Copies of this chain bind each other. A is one copy, B any other.
Amino acid sequence: MTARTERRKTSSLANPTRSSRVTSVEIARELGVSQSTVSRALSDDPRIAQATRERVQTLARDWGYTPNAIARSLITKRTNIVGIVMNEITSPFYPFVLEKFSKELHARGWRVLLFTTDAEHEVDDLLPMILEYQVDGLIVASATLSSAMSQELSQRGTPLVLFNRYTRDARVAAVSCDNRAGGRVVADALLEAGHERFAFIAGRSDTSTSRDREAGFLECLLEHGVSDVMLETGNFSYESGFAAADRLLALPTAPDAMFCANDITALGALDAARQRGVRVGTDLSIVGFDDIPAASWSGYALATVRQPVDAMIASSLELLFRGIDSAQSSLESRFLPGELIRRASLRDVFSDASSNATKRSRKAARG
């Protein structure tokens, strides 16, 4: 009792003269045991005597001992660090992705080393610095790397998962929203609402997300006999959506339905329409993609395709950890379906504006 009280007095907080970082050797010396015993006691090795374990753990707590993960990593050859490379982190959708990855990984005892890029193909250049830190796995979100680099990773036994990107290379694991199917769902909904003049406002054309959403949209329209779709190109920004919609609505035969490559673009389009006095949700339907918070703001009420973020994260981590645990990566590409969220910017099927005739013919065509 007295002894313990005394030890508490020499705790790192109370005794600034002691070395600022306690090591297991110091604990061992103080207790007259070996350093191995300290290590084992702290990792709850069952072979250590109950009494010893308690003495060690108590002193460790009192002295504010923190195990050195760097030293541990060196000997175990495992850092418990996952690298996350994130492109366009400031685009509204990705902070949620990052937060969820971070939460999930922390909950499982993993740490996140973060790298940000603002160009899709910067990843290759970042890779050396990432690898220096011996990450046990790597997630690349909204960007890709060369196949030389992904080979380098598999060489080293560092699993990689692409998030919202994929490659033709079958040796890369990837999880993505099914953007093509999402585009189809939107086309279906717009056709069902009786629309006839369609437009697509693209994001950056070098992204598979935008291209696949467009492809699915056009493909489905074509299957329903619509081959003439107005195309505008934006860059995923509000301003580009605004400008593109403005150009479209100035046309002699303006579209009555717009699908935008992402929500931000759609919000810009929506404001452009409003500013021109076009009644969104009646004269014009606008649908976005992502379901960012602003889409559900009552000022917008933007219909959109919600990305299944939670499932995408879970899937990514499953693939990643399968690679980490088994040394044998499982190189699937997974495409998870988005969900159409109907809001006021999408004309209702039963509204006056969508003629009953049109509706019936669609139903017949489908049935």
Residues of A within 8 A of B (CB): 12-13, 16, 20-21, 64, 66-71, 73-74, 79, 81, 84, 89-90, 92, 94-96, 98-99, 102-103, 106, 111-116, 128-129, 131-134, 148, 151-152, 155-157, 238, 242, 267-268, 270-271, 274-275, 293-294, 297-299
Instruction: Identify A128's interface contact among B66, B96, B103, B148, CB under 8 A.
Output: B66
When A113-B112, A116-B103, A152-B13 are in contact, do A271 and B298 touch as well, CB less than 8 Å?
yes
Contact indicator B298/A242 (Cβ below 8 Å) = yes
When A102-B115, A152-B13 are in contact, do A275 and B294 touch as well, CB less than 8 Å?
no
The winner among A13, A90, A103 for most chain B CB atoms within 10 A is A90
In the complex, the count of this chain's copies comes to 2
A335 to chain B, nearest CB (A): 25
Contact indicator A12/B132 (Cβ below 8 Å) = no
Q: List 21 A-B residue pairs with CB atoms under 8 Å apart, sorted by A's residue number.
A: A13-B148, A13-B151, A20-B157, A64-B155, A68-B132, A70-B74, A81-B113, A84-B114, A90-B99, A99-B116, A106-B116, A111-B133, A112-B113, A112-B114, A112-B115, A242-B298, A267-B297, A267-B299, A268-B297, A271-B298, A275-B298
Instruction: Identify A92's interface contact among B74, B92, B106, CB under 8 A.
Output: B92
Q: Which chain B residue shows the least CB distance to A116?
A: B102
A151 to chain B, nearest CB (A): 6
When A103-B116, A155-B13, A293-B238 are in contact, do A133 and B64 touch as well, CB less than 8 Å?
no
Assembled-state Cα–Cα distance A70/B111 (Å): 14
